[in-house]
């Protein structure tokens, strides 16, 4: 039996873990993918107070070491089911069941896909959703990047260091990221930008050979030959397992309350899995602190 189980070892989940540990609670944190979540894919974090610049992986590793050193237990695996009986939560993994008196879900998001033919087949064969993971494989190539917000802009800057050229394609007629990132991208000689293009097809059988777009203004077809495309068009929530226990909005994100509680006593939510407009490392950390404090107050109420 654990006081608190935290589902998701991104910055929200790890902060929740840290705050609960500092209040003397026993905590188990569960992660099914990489420690740090989305932040681990960021080549540089430059908006974290007191730290001018740090890689996302380093920030995640430092935070993970901090919570482990303070006594957190770690489980690697995917949560397949959640139950609550009386005042006990049962969290099911593939090969075991964990018990706790309170739960914080910080399940984050997964990469949004186009769901076009060939997409699944060509993932890892020219289609990638992580520039940090796969950018070096395409050194010296002409790369296409699809996306218009901060993640896409960061990816473009990272890829420009590897690639012969980076061609950014956006659906709309502008970028939606921080102006500093936009200015940096536009200053790079090997980055080209095309707006108002809607992807219609991934071309290739065993490996990516090109992309087919429709110009949303002229409705003409435009083709781009490339061996690699990086997709950065947002995320979707990972909340299906918990929908019986917490209200979801129309997009599948947890409905937020001020204390990040849910309709199920003892269950709290945090981070990018919630319906918030600003999804940054600073807001993830804030959510983790709030959710853990609320969970600890709930645990006190059980005594």
pLDDT per position as a tens digit, 144-186: 999 999 989 999 999 999 999 999 999 999 999 999 999 999 9
CATH of the domain at 135: 3.50.50.60
Q: Based on the domain organization, do 223 and 248 belong to the same domain?
A: no
What is the rounded CA–CA span in Å between residue 131 and residue 126? 12
Q: Based on the domain organization, do 50 and 146 belong to the same domain?
A: no
Q: Based on the domain organization, do 23 and 49 belong to the same domain?
A: yes
Residue 77: which pLDDT band, with cuts at 50, 70 and 90? very high
| Token output for 218 | 């002229």
What is the rounded CA–CA span in Å between residue 126 and residue 138? 9
Q: Based on the domain organization, do 267 and 221 belong to the same domain?
A: no
Residue 141: give the domain boundaries: 119-231
Do 262 and 253 form a contact (C-beta atoms < 8 A)? no
Q: Based on the domain organization, do 99 and 136 belong to the same domain?
A: no
pTM of the shown model: 0.78
Q: Give the Å distances, CA to CA, from 209 to 70, 143, 173, 231.
A: 50, 11, 26, 15
Do 45 and 281 form a contact (C-beta atoms < 8 A)? yes
Of 215, 231, 247, which one is at a domain's C-terminal end? 231
Residue 111: which pLDDT band, with cuts at 50, 70 and 90? confident
Look at residue 300 in the predicted model and tell me its pLDDT. 96
Of 186, 204, 231, which one is at a domain's C-terminal end? 231
| Mean pLDDT confidence for 124-140 | 88
Q: Based on the domain organization, do 66 and 134 belong to the same domain?
A: no
Q: Based on the domain organization, do 37 and 175 belong to the same domain?
A: no
Do 167 and 138 form a contact (C-beta atoms < 8 A)? no
Q: Which of 5, 67, 2 is nearest to 36 (CA)?
A: 67
| Count of domains forming the chain | 2
Of 192, 215, 231, which one is at a domain's C-terminal end? 231
């Amino acid at each position: 039996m654990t006081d608190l189980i935290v589902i998701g070892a991104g910055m929200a989940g790890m902060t929740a873990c840290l705050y609960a540990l500092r209040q003397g609670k026993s905590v188990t944190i569960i992660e099914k993918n990489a420690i740090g979540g989305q932040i681990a894919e960021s080549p540089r974090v430059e908006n974290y107070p007191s730290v001018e610049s740090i890689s996302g992986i380093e920030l995640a590793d430092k935070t993970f070491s901090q919570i482990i050193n303070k006594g957190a237990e770690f489980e690697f695996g995917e949560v397949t089911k959640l139950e609550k009986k009386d005042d006990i939560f049962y969290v099911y993994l593939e090969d075991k069941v964990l018990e706790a008196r309170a739960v914080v879900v910080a399940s984050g998001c997964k990469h949004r896909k186009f769901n076009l033919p060939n997409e699944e087949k060509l993932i890892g064969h020219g289609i990638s959703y992580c520039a940090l993971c796969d950018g070096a494989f395409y050194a010296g190539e002409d790369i296409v990047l699809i996306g218009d917000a901060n993640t896409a802009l960061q990816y473009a800057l990272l890829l420009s260091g590897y690639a012969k050229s980076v061609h950014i394609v956006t659906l709309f007629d502008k970028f939606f990221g921080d102006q500093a990132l936009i200015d940096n991208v536009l200053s790079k000689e090997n980055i080209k930008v095309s707006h108002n293009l809607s992807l219609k097809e991934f071309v290739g059988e065993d490996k990516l050979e090109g992309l087919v777009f429709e110009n949303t203004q002229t409705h003409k077809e435009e083709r781009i030959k490339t061996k690699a495309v990086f997709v950065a068009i947002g995320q979707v929530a990972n909340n299906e397992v918990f929908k019986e226990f917490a209200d979801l909005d129309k997009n599948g994100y947890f409905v937020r309350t001020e204390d990040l509680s849910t309709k199920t006593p003892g269950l709290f939510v945090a981070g990018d899995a919630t319906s918030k407009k600003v999804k940054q490392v600073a807001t993830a950390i804030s959510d983790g602190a709030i959710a853990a404090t609320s969970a600890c107050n709930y645990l006190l109420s059980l005594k």
